[in-house]
Amino acid sequence: MSHTERLPRNRTYLMCPPEHFTVDYAINPWMDTTVPVDAALAVKQWDLLRTTLHGLGHTVHVLDPVPGLPDMVYAANGAFSVDGTVYGARFRHPQRAAEALAHQDFYATVGTWRFAGPEHVNEGEGDFAYLPAAYGGLILAGYGYRTEPAAHAEAQEVLGRPVVSLRLIDPAFYHLDTALAALDDRNVTYYPGAFSPAAQRVLAQLFPDAVLADRADAEAFGLNLVSDGRNVILNTEASAMADKVRAAGYVPVPVELTELKRGGGSVKCAVAELRP
């Protein structure tokens, strides 16, 4: 594919402002309760991400934050939607459990969504990625730390799309969206070392043209990105990853998100894609 063929597709996103964001507990290796969060800076950086997405022509809905739920800013974890059907989240850690209901309420009041409550633990788009033009519509699903493998089969039944299970083996990359991202509707970028050897073979077979990242890219949260098929929004720290996507014909759009990284997330964690 030539660089001139990288065309954006208008998307609809859901975000939640970090009005109550703090790091009062540690449920992933990136969270350090001894380092204070700059709350005002977190809101400023989040708003820049929101306006960047809007400026690129995308629609951004805003979910009202709830006091006592500091991780609600990571809106990608609350559900996963495909073609108007929503597979709800069920969080592994009790500190985040109530977020699932807030997301369910959103889908009940906005649009005409078909919502399916989960029986199995899963953390929404944190561990699911959808590529509508790959193999007729393919879901990639991570497990190993947050989402139960049984949720993959449940998601397949709910959403009616084939689900490929990928085992994550490095606790630093505890969600799929820290180790893999869709660059467009048919191709991905990922860090092989985050996956089991078998999962690496599966990804290599499915995506021979994938953009491969290294550990430094992943540790900079360079894979926790949002792409519209042309513009790749990623955090400013991931400069080497920006070079890789540029070399592949995409347009990197850096956004500073230093404060959200304190909670173990970056661009993608803060953005859920809505697929009506």
Catalytic residues: 175, 269
Distance between CA atoms of residues 266 and 56, nearest Å = 19
DSSP per residue, the chain: --GGG------EEEE---TT----S-SSTT--TTS---HHHHHHHHHHHHHHHHHTT-EEEEPPP-TT-GGGG-GGGGEEEETTEEEE-B-SSGGGTTHHHHHHHHHHHSS--EEE--SS-B-GGGSEEEETTSTTSEEEEEESSSS-HHHHHHHHHHH-S-EEEEEB--GGG-SGGGTEEESSSS-EEE-GGGB-HHHHHHHHHH-TT-EE--HHHHHTTTTS-EE-SSEEEEETT-HHHHHHHHHTT-EEEEE--HHHHTTT--TGGG-EEE--
Instruction: Scan for tokens 């929004």, then name that residue.
Output: 233
Using an 8 Å Cβ cutoff, are 92 and 46 in contact? no
Using an 8 Å Cβ cutoff, are 131 and 188 in contact? yes
The number of residues in the chain equals 276
Q: Give me the residues paired with residue 165 across strands.
A: 141
